[in-house]
Amino acid sequence: MTDRDNKDTIGLSRRTVLAGLGAVGVASAGAGLGTTAYFNDTESFEGNTLTAGQLDLLVDWQQTYDFGEGRQFVSAHPDHDRDGEQSVEIDGTEFSYSDFPDDTDEDSNGANLPILDCENIPPLSEADFGTDPVTGEEMETLVQLTDVKPGDSGEITFSLHLCDNPGYIWMQADMVDGDGGTATEPELAVDPDNLGDLGDAIEATLWYDEDCDNVYDGAEPVDIMLTLDFSGSMLYEEFGGVVSGDEITVGGSTYDETTKIDLVELGTRRFVDYLGSQGSDVQVGVAYFDGEGSGDTEPRTGILQSLTADLNDVDDALDGLRKKIANVVSGTNNDPDVDDSDADPFSNASGIATGTYIGEGVDDAQAELDANGRGGVEFRNIVLSDGESFNGTGSTQFSDPVDAADDARAASPNPATNVYTISVGSADDAVLSSMAGPAGGSGGDPAFFNDVDDPLVIPSVFGNLAAQTGREKVIVDGSLADVLDELESGDGIPLDGNRSTPYDELTDPADDENRDPFAGDGVMHCVALEWELPIGVGNGVQGDTLGFDLGFYTEQARHNDGSGPEQPA
């Protein structure tokens, strides 16, 4: 069964935005890249929204160009002051891309704005496509480069925000038009037929820019703690732990229903498997936290797996989380390794715990990083919770989660740690959002916070965090002609909503079981295209022109299998 009416294609070219017509960008004199990112329903140009119940795919971007004197801003959306640098004003406060990454400038973020979301991305009618960086004339297409010399390069990062419903996304190219252009004497000496060779001469890479910073990132060494909520609401139906009556298989176990902790196990084990498959230089450990039972004076928290480079050990620790969480919340000894509890999510779970000690779990994880973390590597703590924090009653007081996260991010007395938080369903969004932020920085950073309304999205969130940990995934690496051939063929390149799954965008079918839809939760996902005209290219491309459109197509995941739009006969 398919539902082809629930799909979304939106145009980004200046002509499309202003006149509702398609456009082909033409680049000349050496290394052109004219692009138009589009989606299809022209009704979406009215405020860039679709009717209720359909998909809403919003796009922002930052484009740069290097003439050999360092990268310069070319165009962006949004760009409220029209200077080529991505910026927006929200409730009287200005936010900007803040130049390129600069360790000496605390105001430099060097990334597409994480503050942008489904509520505040301006409509495309406000897009400014800037001026040609060489001629100074107004640009008619999103990217329009002229008089490019060997050694020049450029890059554009698109930020995709799929809102309202989960959907599959494809990246496409259309109206590809290469031409030999004006024939010059030096060119005719090596290219007497004046062919359009520009696309073959330009080197290009298309990749998932996980941190949206317009720069391809390789893998760096990192030590990671997974800090997981082991409270009863993650398992027992009585407290909302059962997500659905659908069967789920995790590892070697199949259950008749799906609980939150099943989804956490699925996501974390995929996270670990992905890091292993990438050969990542990592240590991973697992901490847990619950509340306190009747008569307890200490919160039930601890280390399920100490930091280790042996990812098989971590996978073993994450195996069978149903039983391990039950051992904590309803077992006699409240020990995850002591098998003394009933892990049936429909069993009587009354009185198993009071509160959720998020702060104590963060402290335990941080102590593990401090004791067993490696020197000179990045530290990360990924905290997941589905409940409100509880700090104890009466004379017994425990660590406040925001204070614990502030201490974790600080450089002293503990090693500075990037704190990522995942708020599931009824969790305390305000607290978990305040905890999230970079090492040495403040909390409340949306780039480190994941708001998960639907627990079924949990595995995808861990997949995206895994992709940010390993080297960024390259989709196509070759000539610009190679990239365009893939984007123009069929439905284009099917993008994967969960990069930790073993999916090959070029060789695997679009409906492959390892290709996930994008969650539809508005989380920013970035795709970047970088190109360069090599120094030794010679005279064969002088005067050549190249024009093409780029775009993104989406259709809802429900009732569709990811195989894509029907192709014309």
- Say yes or no to pLDDT of 177 above 70: no
What pLDDT band is residue 145 in, cutting at 50, 70 and 90?
low
- Say yes or no to pLDDT of 508 above 70: yes
- Interval 436-459: pLDDT, tens: 999 988 899 888 999 898 899 899
- Say yes or no to pLDDT of 238 above 70: yes
- Interval 271-306: pLDDT, tens: 999 898 888 899 999 999 988 765 666 788 999 999
What pLDDT band is residue 354 in, cutting at 50, 70 and 90?
low
Instruction: Map out the domains of the chain as residue ranges.
Output: 56-217+472-556, 222-466
Q: What pLDDT, on a 0 to 100 scale, did the predictor assign at position 553?
A: 85
Q: What pLDDT, on a 0 to 100 scale, did the predictor assign at position 190?
A: 37
What pLDDT band is residue 182 in, cutting at 50, 70 and 90?
low
- Say yes or no to pLDDT of 228 above 80: yes
Q: What is the mean pLDDT of residues 558-565?
A: 83
Query: Which three-class secondary structure state does DSSP give residue 297?
Result: coil
- Say yes or no to pLDDT of 153 above 80: yes
Instruction: Please state the φ and ψ torsions of residue 363, each to the nearest 5 degrees.
Output: -60, -45
- Give the pair of three-digit tokens for residue 452: 């998960």
What pLDDT band is residue 472 in, cutting at 50, 70 and 90?
confident
Residue type, 76: A
Least confidently predicted of 13-27, 191-205, 319-333, 486-500: 13-27
- Say yes or no to pLDDT of 430 above 60: yes
Q: Quickly list DSSP for 8-62.
A: EE---SHHHHHHS------B-TT----B----S-GGGGTTT---TTS-EEEEEEE
Q: Is 90 exposed, middle or buried (0-12, 13-18, 19+ CB in 10 A)?
A: middle
Q: What pLDDT, on a 0 to 100 scale, did the predictor assign at position 418?
A: 95
Q: What pLDDT, on a 0 to 100 scale, did the predictor assign at position 540?
A: 56
- Say yes or no to pLDDT of 5 above 60: no
Name beta bridge partners: 302.
288
Least confidently predicted of 16-25, 330-339, 417-426, 499-508: 16-25
Report the C-alpha gap between 479 and 404 in whole angstroms.
49
Instruction: Write down the CATH superfamily of domain 222-466.
Output: von Willebrand factor, type A domain (3.40.50.410)
- Give the pair of three-digit tokens for residue 43: 């009704």
Q: What is the mean pLDDT of residues 241-252?
A: 92
- The winner for highest mean pLDDT among 76-85, 342-351, 383-392, 395-404 is 76-85
Q: What pLDDT, on a 0 to 100 scale, did the predictor assign at position 247?
A: 93
Q: What pLDDT, on a 0 to 100 scale, did the predictor assign at position 176?
A: 60
- Nearest to 298, CA basis, from 252, 334, 266: 334
| 3-state SS, one letter per residue, for 532-543 | ECCCCCCCCCCC
Task: Compare 251 and 435 and report the one with higher pLDDT.
Answer: 435
Instruction: Please state the φ and ψ torsions of residue 548, each to the nearest 5 degrees.
Output: -170, 160
What pLDDT band is residue 555 in, cutting at 50, 70 and 90?
confident
405-to-354, 360, 362, 414 alpha-carbon distances in Å: 22, 10, 7, 11
- Give the pair of three-digit tokens for residue 484: 């365009």
| Percentage of the chain modeled with pLDDT above 90 | 36
- Say yes or no to pLDDT of 432 above 50: yes
Q: What pLDDT, on a 0 to 100 scale, did the predictor assign at position 564?
A: 83
pTM for the whole structure: 0.69
Q: What is the mean pLDDT of residues 347-372?
A: 85
Query: Which three-class secondary structure state does DSSP give residue 446?
Result: helix
- Say yes or no to pLDDT of 24 above 70: no
- Say yes or no to pLDDT of 222 above 60: yes
- Say yes or no to pLDDT of 52 above 60: no
| Percentage of the chain modeled with pLDDT above 70 | 76
How many CB atoms sit inside 10 A of residue 377's CB? Answer: 15
Q: What pLDDT, on a 0 to 100 scale, did the predictor assign at position 104?
A: 58
Q: What is the mean pLDDT of residues 455-477?
A: 89
Q: What is the mean pLDDT of the chain?
A: 79
- Interval 299-328: pLDDT, tens: 889 999 999 999 999 999 999 999 999 998
Q: What pLDDT, on a 0 to 100 scale, did the predictor assign at position 296?
A: 62
Cβ–Cβ under 8 Å, residues 314 and 272: yes
What pLDDT band is residue 426 in, cutting at 50, 70 and 90?
low
Task: Compare 351 and 287 and report the one with higher pLDDT.
Answer: 287
What pLDDT band is residue 224 in, cutting at 50, 70 and 90?
very high
Q: Establish how many alpha carbons lie within 13 A of residue 312's alpha carbon, considering only the half-sphere containing its beta carbon.
A: 0
- Say yes or no to pLDDT of 349 above 80: no
